[in-house]
Amino acid sequence: MKQLKSFLIAALLFVGASQAVSAQAKIAHINVSELMSTMPDMKAANAQLDKLTQSYDKEYNTMVTEFRTKVQQYEQEAAQQTEAVNEARSKEVQDMQKRIQDYQQNASKELQEKQEAIYKPILEKSRAAIQKVAKAKGYQYVLDSSTGSGVLLADGPDLLADVKKELGF
């Protein structure tokens, strides 16, 4: 009877311990910044954004050059012009300055919107690959180990190589 009681207690302890072990979540990590920077899609997106940025910069620089030229011309001719002409020129310069500021703000906004539109499918693709690899390997949680993400220690399994393989690069 004592042996049966000991056996039952041992069996209960074994079952409880195995449930505690299986209740622990499996956790892995991946450096999402590194993954994104090495993706071929991201390199193409960055090239597209650089081209757009250059076109905005070229237009902006043209506007600024034109503005400076007019300001210099008007300053040189101010003494020979009437008060009314100088006031009209002053207003024209202020209008040009406002157009330049508006252009800069609109270009910045459009560039940010374009960046979000271009990056969104790439982010979704990488997220789907991370989820697929994590599920295949049995991980319940995958932490982003990029600098500044809040992960202080990433000593567990790193999924970066597996996700790259899943994405085909």
Whether residue 58 is contained in a domain is answered as yes
Whether residue 13 is contained in a domain is answered as no
82-100 per-position pLDDT tens digit: 999 999 999 999 999 999 9
In 3D, which of 3, 12, 114 has the Cα closest to residue 56?
Answer: 114
Whether residue 7 is contained in a domain is answered as no
Whether residue 10 is contained in a domain is answered as no
Total tally of structural domains belonging to the chain = 1
Whether residue 3 is contained in a domain is answered as no
Distance between the two ends of the chain, CA-based, in angstroms? 64
Domain interval for residue 162? 21-167
Whether residue 1 is contained in a domain is answered as no
DSSP secondary structure of 51-100: HHHHHHHHHHHHHHHHHHHHHHHHHHHGGGS-HHHHHHHHHHHHHHHHHH
Reported as a pLDDT band with limits 50, 70 and 90, residue 158 is confident
Q: Name 102's Cβ contacts closer than 8 Å, sequence gap at least 6.
A: none
CA distance 111 to 133: 33
pLDDT, average across residues 17-41: 78
Whether residue 62 is contained in a domain is answered as yes
Reported as a pLDDT band with limits 50, 70 and 90, residue 166 is confident
Report if pTM > 0.85: no
